[in-house]
């Protein structure tokens, strides 16, 4: 058995949640915040049997898209201003960051 931890952008949360329910997978959704953009994310905790790994990973890949976003950089405030760019920059956001952990034991009460 495996525990899949998928950190995705909030914009993809509903689409992935619907796809998981439709495919009969249970998941727990947690609100989380990314460190770089300080933007909202959703973290999914999904327990699956080893044989179901490819199906769940496919659902994540299909429903979590990366996209370009223009962001205003945060002022260094006391940091090194040499590398500070005072105008908005385009960064890639979205997609998914996925961790897969082995599960030694699972109990449901």
Answer for the pair 48, 56: CB distance below 8 angstroms, yes or no. Answer: yes
Answer for the pair 5, 56: CB distance below 8 angstroms, yes or no. Answer: no
Answer for the pair 19, 62: CB distance below 8 angstroms, yes or no. Answer: yes
**Dihedral (Cα; 104, 25, 10, 109), 10-degree rounding:** -60
**What class does CATH assign to 2-73+86-102?**
alpha beta
pLDDT at position 38 is 64
Report the predicted TM-score, pTM, of the whole model to 2 decimal places: 0.75
What is the C-alpha to C-alpha distance for residues 18 and 36, in angstroms, rounded to an integer? Answer: 27
Using one digit for the tens of pLDDT, what is the confidence trace for 65-89?
Answer: 876 666 666 655 555 555 555 677 6
């Amino acid at each position: 058995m495996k525990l899949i931890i998928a950190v995705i952008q909030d914009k993809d949360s509903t689409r992935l949640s619907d796809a998981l329910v439709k495919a009969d997978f249970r998941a727990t959704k947690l609100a989380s915040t990314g460190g770089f953009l300080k933007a909202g994310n959703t973290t999914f905790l999904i327990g699956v049997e080893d044989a179901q790994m490819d199906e769940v990973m496919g659902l994540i890949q299909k429903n979590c898209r990366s996209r370009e976003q223009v962001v205003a950089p945060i002022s260094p405030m006391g940091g090194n201003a040499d590398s500070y760019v005072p105008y908005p920059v385009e960064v890639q956001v979205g997609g998914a960051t996925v961790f897969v952990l082995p599960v030694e034991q699972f109990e449901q009460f």
